[in-house]
Amino acid sequence: MNNNGHLISMKNVTKVYKTGKIHVDALRGVDLDIGRGEFVAIIGPSGSGKSTLMNIMGCLDMPTTGEYHLDGRPVANMGIHQLSSIRNKKIGFIFQNFNLLAYATTFENVELPLIFAGKPGAYRKQRVMECLENVGLANWAEHKPTELSGGQMQRAAVARALANEPDIILADEPTGNLDSKSGGEIIDLFEQLNELGRSVVTITHDMNIAHRCHRIIRIMDGLIESEKHNGNGRDKNLTQD
């Protein structure tokens, strides 16, 4: 194990998107370490590279150049099966638009990652209900997403992200489609998960949410522009959008 035990360790990571003759430098050399149990907000203007960075963190995309170690292992050397297994077992994803299957029940949505992980039926039933209880949706197991409010849909997505007990939760603007009360409930859940030892990294445009995280990283034009550790006075030129 290297990288001083960091869960996420990036060195000089770049990402260039090539569409036809157009090249976009979405990330231009990012160095970033995130340890176990951290609670991190990523902020920055639209188009600055936040989702690109998170997709690389979550092994949904690969850097163009640079190194990425996840839990001490170089992601570049992993095959496609190893990558999908890591995504399924180590990482819980939460997206702005919930990404729930519309024709499946809340129960079935949360069960899916457990099926992919090869868990037996009895365990799945018990684990799904445990996750739904954690997010206050035990009574909504048999309902379809269309019968849920936005806040409830996102809580179902949190339950799904937790199913395989991931080390890290990655959320891309999880409260972007929610009213402030429902958004607050999602951050309450993240806070609880973090207190139980999980790393949580969330992209947000909402400074009220960013300030509830313990560390705020600001991305600008594909680079980390500044960082702030909430509550311990280690500010490094943090400015708002």
Ligand X SMILES: Nc1ncnc2c1ncn2[C@@H]1O[C@H](COP(=O)(O)OP(=O)(O)OP(=O)(O)O)[C@@H](O)[C@H]1O
Contacting residues toward ligand X, per CB under 6 A: 17, 19, 24, 26, 44, 46-52
Angle in degrees, CA 192, 7, 1, rounded to 5 = 140
Is the CB of residue 114 less than 8 Å from the CB of residue 123? yes
For 158, 183, 222, the CA distances from 153, given in Å and listed in that order, are 9, 12, 31
Instruction: Quote the CA–CA distance of 236 and 12 in Å, as a whole number.
Output: 20
52 vs 152, beta carbon nearer ligand X = 52
Q: Does 202 bind Mg ion (CB under 5 A)?
A: no
> Given the rule CB under 5 A, which of 33-41, 45-53, 105-113, 218-226 is the region that contacts Mg ion?
45-53
For residue 4, the minimal CB distance to Mg ion (Å) is 29
C-beta nearest to Mg ion: residue: 51
Residues 6+ apart with CB under 8 A from 27: 13, 14, 15, 49, 52, 53, 56, 63, 222, 223
Position among 3, 9, 48, 51 found at the interface with Mg ion (CB under 5 A): 51
26 interface partner picked from Mg ion, ligand X, none, CB below 5 to 8 A per type: ligand X
Q: How far is the CB of 96 from Mg ion (least distance, A)?
A: 8
- The binding site for Mg ion (CB under 5 A) comprises 51
